[in-house]
Structure 1
Amino acid sequence: MTHGAFDLSGLKRPTPAPAAPPAGGAAGGTPTTGAYTVPVSDEAGFQAVVEASMTAPVVMVFTSPSRMPASADYGRDVASVVEGYDGRFLAALVDADQAPALASALQVQQVPTTYVLLDGRPAMQPIPGVVSTEELQALFQQLGQQLTMQGITARHQPRHAAAEDGEEGADPRYAAAEEALVSGDIDSAVAEYQKLVDGNPADTEAARGLAMAKVLQRTQGVDAAAARAAAENADDLHAQIMAADLDLLDGRVEEAFARLVDTVARTAGDERTKAREHLISLFEAVGNDDQRVLTARRNLASALF
C-alpha cells in the first residue's frame, strides 16, 4: 500500500463520529443501508468516514446516479463485497452530484472512481471505472492480508443491526494464525495454517494464508537491497526467487510473476522445475481466481511450451 497518493492534509480533521450513518442520503437508488455501508452527500458525511478510516479502511466510491446510472449499480456491487468482510472495510458511497466539492477535492475525473482511505489518507492509487466483482474480492483479500501483516486488525462497528438474524461473524478457525501474524511469530502462523490445510485440503482461504505466511517466513531478516542487487544476475535462480518474494510483499504482484515466468523461460531441468513450482506457490498466495494470476498462468504456459 502507498499512503498519501493524494494529499488530504488540507481537509479539516473531523471530530469522532457516532456509530450512526453520516448525514445526507444518497440518490438514484444507491444503497443507504447496510451494516458496513454509509451514504455520503455532504462535508459532514465525508468527515465522518475520514474519521472512520482512522480505525480501519474505508472504500469510498464516487457515483453519479443522474449522469451515469450504471455508476450507482457499481456502488451497490462494491458495497455488497464490502459487507462480506464483516467490518474489515467500510463502504462509503458518495453522490458526486450532491457533493461536487468533495469530488473536486479528491480530483475525481470520472465516475465511478474508487478510493481506499486509511488513517485519513488514500492508501493506494484511485481505481477509475468499473471493476468486476471477482477483481474487487481479490483486491480486498490482498489488502486485508497486507493489513494483518502490518498488525492492523481493527474492524468497523456495524452501522445498524444486520438485516438478517443469525448472520455469521468472522471465522474463528483462522484466529490463531492471524494472531500469530500480528505478534510477528511467523513460524507459528505457518504451523497454524498448515494444521488447517492438513485438516481440510479444500480450504482455499487457509491455503492462501499458508502460502503468504511462507513468503513472510522466507524473507525474515533478509537484506532487501542486497537481495535485489543479487537479482541483477538473471542466472542466479535463488536470487530471482527471493526477489520475486520481495516483489510480492511490496505489492508488485505482476513484477513478481513476470520475473519468475522469465526465469522459467531461460532455464531447464531442475532449475526450471524449481522456478515453476515457486511461481505456483505465489499464485496460491495471491489467489488462484485473481485476474493477475490467470494472466500469469497463460504466460507460464507460453514459457513452458
Structure 2
Amino acid sequence: MATLGLSDGDKAAVEAFRRDVVDPSRTSLIIVDFWAEWCGPCKQLTPVIEKVCAEYEPKGVKLVKINVDENKFIAAQFRVQSIPTVYAVFQGQPVADLSQARTEGQLKQFLDQLLAQLPIESDEKAQLQEIAPLIEMGEELLTAGDNERALSVFEQVGAMAPDNAEVASGHARALVALARLDEAEAVLAELPADVAKDQAVDRARAAIALARDARPVSDLSGIEAKVAANPDDHEARFELAGGLMANGDRDRAAEELLEIVRRDREWNDGAARAQLVKLFEATGLEDPWVAAQRRKLSQILFA
C-alpha cells in the first residue's frame, strides 16, 4: 500500500497493517476480521472466529482484527462494504473471502481447504517432520515382531505428539501385539474427537477388535481335521481362521475367510467378509498385502 499523500493516522495504520498482516503472511495464513463496536453480527461471529483461529494457531493460522471505524483507509483498500467481512491473507494477498463462514464447522472447512493448498509454515508441520522417522521406526519394529521396542518408541513419540493419530495408532497396536488390550483401548479413548475419526485410529480399533475375537490355539490340527471332513462347516472354518489370526498366520486366516465367502457369502450375516474387513483395516488399507487380498475378494464377489 502506497502511503504518499496520506495523513499521519493513515500512515500509522498502513504500517501496522504491514507489521501485523503482510509480513507474517509470508509464511502464515492471516485471518483478517473487519469489525466495529456497533456491529451486532460481529459480536456473534467474534467468539466463533477467535476460538477456531486459536485452535488452528499450531497449523500456522493467525487472527488479526481490524476496527473499520479506526482504520477506514485499510477497510477502503479491501473494498469492505459491510461487516463482518473476513479475509484470509497469504503472502500479502487475499486468497479467500470467509465472510459467509458463520459456524465453527464452516470456518474449519474453509481453513482446512486453504491449509491443504498453501505452503504454510507451522509448528505442526515442523513437528510432523521431526517425528516421521520415529513413526517409521516404530512401524518397522512392529512388522518385525519386536513389539516391546516398538512400544517404547511409540511411547516416547507420544510424549512429543500426544494427539497425533499415527502415533496413537502405533502405540495402541504395539499394546495389542503384547496382549494389553485394555491399555490399547485407553490410549484411543484419550484422543480428541476429531483425531479419533482418523483412518489410522480406525486401523488400531480393528486390531483391538480382532484381538478380542481371536484366541491363540497351540494345536489347530483338531479343527483343521473337522474342516477337512466337512468343507461346508463354516463355523469350524471361521474358528480356524480366528486361531490362525491369533497365531499370526494372516495369510492362511485370509484364505479360510475367503473360502467361506466363496462358499456362502451371506453365512452368519456376512461374518467372514466383516472379519476380512477388520483384518484389512488392522493391516493398513494401503498395504500391498491388503490390495492383493481385496482383489481376491472382488473376484469371488463378482465372479
- TM interval, short-chain normalised: 0.3 to 0.5
**TM-score calculated relative to the size of structure 2:** 0.42
Q: Judging by fraction of residues, say which structure has more helix.
A: 2
**TM-score calculated relative to the size of structure 1:** 0.42
Which structure: larger Rg?
Answer: 2
